[in-house]
Amino acid sequence: MTRLHDPSWRGFASDNYAGTHPEILEALAEANGGHQVAYGEDAYTARLQEVMRVHFGDQAEAFPVFNGTGANVTALTAMLPRWGAVVATSTAHIHTDENGAPERISGLKLLTVPTDDGKLTPDLIDVEAWGWGDEHRAQPLAVSITQSTELGTVYTVDEVRAIADHVHAKGMTLHMDGARIANAAASLGVPLRDFTTDAGVDVLSFGGTKNGLLYGEAVVALTPSAVDGLVFLRKLNMQLASKMRFVSAQLIALLEGDLWLRSASHANAMAARLRSRLEEASLDGLRFGYPTDANAVFGIIENDVADRIRERVRFYDWDRAAGSVRWMAAFDTTEADVDRFVEVIREELAR
């Protein structure tokens, strides 16, 4: 096959734009060859259980899936009866960017709450956590939080624990959408289990694609009693890989050593560099929307300026009416990439 793209091209639209980390490609090559039993009865998926338990505790059970939407939908379906509802932020990925999959595939109800920083609190959860026993209202039986959030902010360990305690006291369960969980851990400087298992999270959607995998995520049951039928729901939701060894091998390569942390730390550092370089430049016409806790920078800029910049470097609008844009760094973003982007922003603002 002839290469069809320029491998030197970089964008700041999404960490999904990045390719696959070389160490992940090596792991795929190692897992190839010969036969392994299909549908998860392979040596790599068995090893993945051991690796996941190092990070999340002996009770954890991992179910590899293809993608983040599949992980979230499968996890929430296993956590709720058909009449159940999930409390989440109005910016949550499950609400804004999954094309109604939780509602359409699972038939569950999302009860969303606006937030200033993308994070739920016990008080905000209570805005929608009510009406138990009312047959006219979908029953709020789970809460879903995102770590790091869609606004690039990060829940502290204490914030997650406070939510978990509050949720559990109401007889609800807690799900974490961890599409960028490694970036959150790198930002907090703590092990993964500190703000998941030990903080009271019941079910985790563990993200790998945004941190260098070719494809693949996992539903991780941290409290096995909080889910029901995951082994069946994964197949029902079209998330059961026949050649599962290739999903599991990637997750092993990510988690067995420190690749997950190295890659996420680098992405965070590049986002911090972008923000600091822009702040130091004190550019007229540019403000910032949210703290840069992980690998996302949110700028506020005139739409016509954003459009001119985008002709040279790809990125997405976040809220065009407010002039909000999102710039994402990835595991392979370089300092030179950041510095070139800063110069493009400077030049277009000066026009």
pLDDT digits (tens, 9 = 90+) for 260-304: 999 999 999 999 999 999 999 999 999 999 999 999 999 999 999
What's the chain's length in residues?
A: 351
* Residue 341, CB-side half-sphere exposure with 13 Å CA sphere: 28
**Could you tell me the fold of the domain covering 22-255?**
Aspartate Aminotransferase; domain 2 (3.40.640)
Domain ranges of the chain: 22-255, 259-350
Lowest-pLDDT range of 3-7, 162-166, 249-253, 268-272: 3-7
Which option is the CATH number for 259-350: 3.90.1150.10, 3.30.70.100, 3.40.640.10, 3.40.50.980?
3.90.1150.10
3-state helix, strand, coil in the chain (%, to 5): 45, 15, 40
Interhelix angle 43-56/245-255, rounded to 10 degrees, is: 30
Find, among 113, 114, 86, the residue nearest to 101 by Cα.
86
pLDDT of residue 229: 96
User: What are the tens digits of pLDDT across the range 145-194?
Assistant: 999 999 999 999 999 999 999 999 999 999 999 999 999 999 999 999 99
The 10 Å Cβ neighbour count of residue 34 is 5
Residue 351 reports pLDDT greater than 90 = no
User: What are the tens digits of pLDDT across the range 63-114?
Assistant: 999 999 999 999 999 999 999 999 999 999 999 999 999 999 999 999 999 9
What is the average per-residue pLDDT within 39-62?
98
